């Protein structure tokens, strides 16, 4: 839920009020860093990308028309910063974590046994390994969808894509990740449920 003070902070920051912009940074810094950490390979790159995103926001606020929400705009700046960083350094591999529910990895209500915990840990490690093999554009769409629960149109705004391309990248990213896990031979994951409502929420 958007902080009711956010529109006032945005309006004041557009006029050059650094204190108002600092409030926006405090409001979104954890979410932006969570995004960059899942797109970049190491904490240093993630922190640099987040810093670049907020710097770009401060520099560009005077031209921010409010056609989209501030959150969508800052996600776009953060995603662009990550992709630029990966391209600059020639890094095509980066770590991320999908929401467990999308891969039907719901945690049991009872505490897992040591063996179950070890298997779950191994699966998480293989998911991260698979995600490191995804192109950045697939990874960006998946992270915004699964970790930040953005709608398809919001992801499109954040990444500068049409909804059809967003859906295609998410679908192909999930398929590539699933094929990677199945190729390992240790896990046989069911297809994501089509009744969850996630796929249809656009």
Model confidence over 106-148: pLDDT tens digits?
Answer: 434 455 577 767 767 777 777 777 767 788 788 888 778 876 7
Task: Give CA–CA dist 143/156, Å, rounded.
Answer: 13
pLDDT beyond 60 at 56? yes
CA 100 to chain centre: 14
Model confidence over 61-76: pLDDT tens digits?
Answer: 988 877 778 988 898 8
- Is residue 64 a contact partner of residue 5, using CB atoms and an 8 Å limit? no
Q: What percent of the chain has pLDDT over 70?
A: 72
In this prediction the pTM is 0.58
Q: Which of 189, 171, 173 is nearest to 181 (CA)?
A: 189
């Amino acid at each position: 839920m958007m902080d009711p003070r956010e529109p006032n902070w945005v309006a004041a920051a557009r006029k050059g009020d650094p204190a108002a912009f600092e409030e926006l940074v405090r409001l979104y810094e954890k979410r932006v860093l969570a995004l960059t950490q899942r797109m970049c390979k190491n904490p240093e790159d993630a922190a640099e990308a987040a810093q670049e995103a907020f710097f770009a926001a401060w520099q560009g606020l005077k031209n921010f028309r409010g056609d989209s929400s501030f959150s969508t705009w800052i996600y776009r700046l953060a995603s662009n910063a990550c992709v630029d960083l990966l391209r600059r350094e020639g890094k095509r591999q980066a770590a991320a974590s999908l929401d467990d529910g999308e891969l039907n990895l719901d945690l049991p209500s009872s505490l897992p046994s040591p063996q179950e915990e070890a298997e779950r840990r191994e699966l998480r490690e293989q998911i991260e390994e698979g995600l490191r093999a995804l192109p950045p554009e697939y990874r960006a769409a998946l992270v915004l969808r699964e970790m930040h629960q953005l709608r398809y149109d919001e992801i499109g705004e954040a990444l500068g894509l049409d909804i059809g391309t967003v859906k295609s990248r998410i679908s192909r990213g999930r398929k590539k990740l699933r094929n990677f896990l199945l190729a390992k031979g240790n896990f046989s994951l069911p297809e994501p449920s089509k009744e969850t409502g996630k796929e249809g929420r656009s």
